[in-house]
Amino acid sequence: MTSFRDKFYLASGYAAGFCIALIMVIILVQIVGRLFGFIVPSAENVSGYALAASTFFGLAYTFREGGHIRVTLVIQNWSAKARFVQELAVLLLGLGLASYMTFYCWHMVYESYIFEEVSHGYIPIPIWIPQIPVGLGMLAFNIAILDDLIAVLRKRTPSYQSHENELNLEEV
């Protein structure tokens, strides 16, 4: 099961990378198009949607790899019990906030679909289509937080902390 979860988080990271590459391709085609006298319709809209998708797809992968900013200056000197309580509290708060955001991201997709919202560019893109990656990215982030919360409750090292320890060893 762990390998499936790891592949899931890695796929989320690859999706984020694909969206960044898509932005690059759109911008390059737009530059070449200007040189040859044609425009790429709705390039700004599609680039913006790809940016939002890359941001949200990257959340879960970055969290699992220990890439989010953690201030460990104070907690590194705490006792194991105090650190456990702190990790548990932070993960519970993070899970609550991520769950709230995940719910409203999917609610936004639903409302955009129901109200048939479209973009205002040259190409009228239904807004719910580029909003789906935002919801998927938040859902993946929610699962990643829940995964580490379960690890902490089982007295295991959360994924972000093990990667943090690896980074600290490399600096020494």
Residue pLDDT tens, the chain, 172 long: 568 988 999 999 999 999 999 999 999 999 999 999 999 899 999 999 999 999 999 999 999 888 877 777 777 788 889 889 999 999 999 999 999 999 999 999 999 999 999 998 889 999 999 999 999 999 999 999 999 999 999 999 888 887 666 655 555 5
The pTM assigned to this predicted structure is 0.87
Looking at this protein, which amino acid is placed at residue 138? Answer: M
Q: What is the DSSP string of 85-141?
A: HHHHHHHHHHHHHHHHHHHHHHHHHHHHHHTT-B-SSSS--BTHHHHHHHHHHHHHH
Q: Which residues contact 77 (CB under 8 A, 6 or more apart)?
A: none
CA separation for the pair 78, 92 (Å, rounded): 19
Angstrom CA distances, 142 to 40, 57, 91, 150, stand at 36, 11, 11, 12
Encoded amino acid at 40, one letter: V
d(CA 38, CA 22) in angstroms, rounded, equals 19
